[in-house]
């Protein structure tokens, strides 16, 4: 890493920072254009900047590790993001360019993707949402097919950029980790409430299905035009998304697909992004008003009960049939006995 440039960053994070306040990164060769986002709790500010020599736009993500309550986790997030991004080479994941450090501050330079985030208020129709879903799933397939598969752990509208052609870009690898590695204690439960899969909340092992839950939650936000911070309004007490009534326009097939993405039990979710992508590709998004569709959707939750009922009925019928077969020779014997009894009685009657 080409870090540790002797840079004079004189600003401090004291009190609230005025939005038009831009740090001077000229010693490192960058000039800030505007702010893209800030996370004061985590001590991070992200800027759009340009490389002074080439005038090329870049993103500078600044981690403040002094005067915050998140010092140590801030350093960890910074190191993790660099470590993961350096391994990746995908056209829709910003490339790692460089980094520089100064006591109390770390700065990460990333390729700029000219696309607004889904955190901004934008409306998409169901067909467009399907296209975005496929585009994000392709990135997840890439991450999951690495020699050491990567779990992003913070998929949500704010960390997904979508351009005018509906290509999605995935940013913010500050919580990402390699699957099968132990989560370090500082980030044990570190995702965003509402988007975090239940297994993460419970401290269970994360799998390739974990990011699918967060993606499903993100898509529900898009369909229902719900802001990330309001996602709790869509979740019931059993940690289930109560979205069926909110999405009247989509087909039952697509609704079932989405339902499987956000299954609280990860074993009932699609196993990984590749399976979810293949399942989604042929699905029509807009609901037809065919009765059959509604019937399939209505029957789906009761499928197990219906199967159980049919099995029980089959067992009862089998037991009845066996009873009838077994009882028939006995009946014949009884009738012979009655006949014999009648024969014995008859002579005495004639006397
Ligand atoms: N490479 C990028 N190109 C364009 N915009 C970006 C890029 N990286 C981040 N952003 C924008 O900056 C915001 C904050 O960046 P992010 O990495 O998510 O920081 P944080 O860790 O504070 O959430 C994102 O929501 C997105 O809008
Ligand atoms: Mg973010």
**Residue of 36, 62, 70, 113 to mutate, ligand 1, most atoms within 8 A of C-beta:** 36
In the reported structure, the alpha carbon of residue 39 is separated from the centroid of ligand 1 by a whole-number distance in angstroms of 10
* CATH number, domain with residue 210: 1.10.510.10
Which of 5-9, 132-136, 225-229: highest mean pLDDT? 132-136
Q: What is the CATH number of the domain that holds 89?
A: 3.30.200.20
154 is catalytic: yes
- Name which residue sits closest to atom 18 of ligand 1, judged by CA: 172
Domain limit, last residue, from 52, 87, 111: 111
Query: Is the minimum distance from the CB of 169 to ligand 1 under 6 angstroms?
Result: no
Count of CB atoms situated within 10 Å of the CB of 147? 6
Atom 14 in ligand 1: which residue has the minimum CA distance?
A: 37
- pLDDT tens, residue by residue, 191-202: 788 899 999 888
| DSSP per position, 147-177 | SS-EE----SGGGEEE-TT--EEE---SS-E
Q: Let me know whether 261 and 140 are in one domain.
A: yes
23-58 burial, b at 16+ Cβ within 10 Å, e below that, comes to bebeebbbbbeeebbebeebbbbbbbbbbeeeeeeb
- Given 229, 260, 287, the domain boundary residue is 287
For residue 184, pLDDT over 80 is answered with no
Q: Is residue 334 scored above 70 in pLDDT?
A: no
Minimum-distance ligand 1 atom for the alpha carbon of 38 = 22
Ligand 1 closest atom vs CA 116: 27
Q: Please tell me the residue having the least CA distance from ligand 1 atom 21.
A: 172
Q: Let me know whether 134 and 185 are in one domain.
A: yes
Assess whether 96 and 220 both reside in one domain: no
Confirm if 284 and 251 have CB atoms less than 8 A apart. yes
Q: How many angstroms separate the CA atoms of 76 and 54, rounded?
A: 31
What Rg value do the Cα atoms of the chain yield, rounded?
A: 32
Output the average pLDDT for the chain: 82
Ranking 136-140, 171-175, 294-298 by mean pLDDT, the lowest is: 294-298
* Pure H helices in the chain: 71-87, 126-144, 198-201, 210-224, 252-261, 273-280, 291-299, 303-350
Domain boundaries, position 27: 10-111
Q: Determine which one of 71, 98, 114, 154 is catalytic.
A: 154
| Range 77-81 contact pairs with CB under 8 angstroms and sequence separation of 24 or more | 77/42, 77/44, 77/174, 77/175, 77/187, 78/106, 78/108, 78/174, 80/173, 80/174, 80/175, 80/176, 80/177, 81/108, 81/172, 81/173, 81/174, 81/176
Whether residue 174 has its Cβ less than 6 Å from ligand 1:
yes
* Same structural domain, 96 and 239: no
Q: Is residue 328 part of a domain?
A: no
The last residue of one of the domains, among 111, 144, 173, is 111
Residue 248's pLDDT band (boundaries 50, 70, 90)? confident
- On whether the pTM is more than 0.85, the answer is no
Residues 268 and 136 grouped into a single domain: yes
The finding on whether 117 has its CB within 6 A of some atom of ligand 1 is: yes
- How many A from CA of 85 to the centre of ligand 1? 14
Shared-domain flag, residues 153 and 92: no
249 vs 294, residue with greater confidence: 249
CB of residue 35 inside a 6 A radius of ligand 1: no
Are both 52 and 197 inside the same structural domain? no
In eight-state DSSP terms, residue 233 is G
280 plus 232 within the same structural domain: yes
In a domain, 349, yes or no: no
Number of structural domains the chain divides into: 2
Bridge partners of 241, per DSSP, are 235
């Amino acid at each position: 890493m080409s870090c540790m440039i002797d840079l004079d960053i004189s600003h401090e994070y004291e009190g609230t920072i005025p939005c038009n306040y831009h740090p001077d990164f000229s010693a490192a060769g960058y000039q800030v254009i505007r702010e893209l986002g800030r996370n004061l709790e985590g001590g991070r500010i992200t800027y759009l900047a340009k490389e002074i020599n080439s005038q090329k736009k870049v993103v500078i993500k600044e981690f403040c590790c002094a005067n915050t309550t998140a010092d140590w986790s801030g350093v960890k997030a910074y190191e993790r993001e660099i470590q993961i991004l350096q391994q990746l080479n995908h056209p829709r994941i910003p490339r790692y360019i460089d980094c520089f450090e100064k006591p109390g501050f770390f700065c990460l330079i990333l390729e700029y993707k000219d696309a607004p985030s889904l955190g901004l208020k934008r409306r998409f129709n169901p067909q467009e949402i399907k296209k975005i879903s496929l585009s994000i799933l392709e990135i997840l397939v890439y991450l999951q097919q690495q020699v050491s598969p990567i779990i992003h752990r913070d998929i949500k509208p704010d960390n997904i950029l979508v351009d005018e052609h509906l290509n999605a870009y995935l940013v913010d690898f500050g919580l990402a980790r390699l699957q099968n590695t132990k989560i370090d204690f500082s980030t044990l439960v570190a995702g965003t409430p509402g988007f975090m899969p239940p297994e993460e909340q419970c401290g269970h092992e994360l799998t390739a299905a974990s990011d699918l839950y967060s993606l499903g939650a993100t898509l529900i936000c898009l369909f229902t035009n719900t802001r990330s911070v309001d996602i709790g309004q869509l979740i019931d007490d059993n940690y289930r998304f109560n979205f069926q009534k909110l999405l009247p326009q989509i087909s039952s097939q697509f609704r079932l697909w989405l339902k499987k993405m956000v299954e609280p039990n990860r074993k009932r979710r699609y196993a990984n992004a590749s399976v979810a992508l293949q399942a989604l590709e042929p699905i029509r998004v807009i609901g037809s008003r065919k009765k059959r569709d509604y019937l399939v959707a209505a029957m789906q939750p009761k499928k197990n009960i219906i199967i159980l009922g049919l099995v029980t009925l089959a067992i009862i019928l089998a037991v009845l049939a066996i009873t009838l077969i077994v009882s028939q020779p006995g009946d014949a014997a009884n009738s012979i006995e009655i006949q014999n009894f009648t024969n014995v009685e008859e002579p005495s009657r004639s006397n």
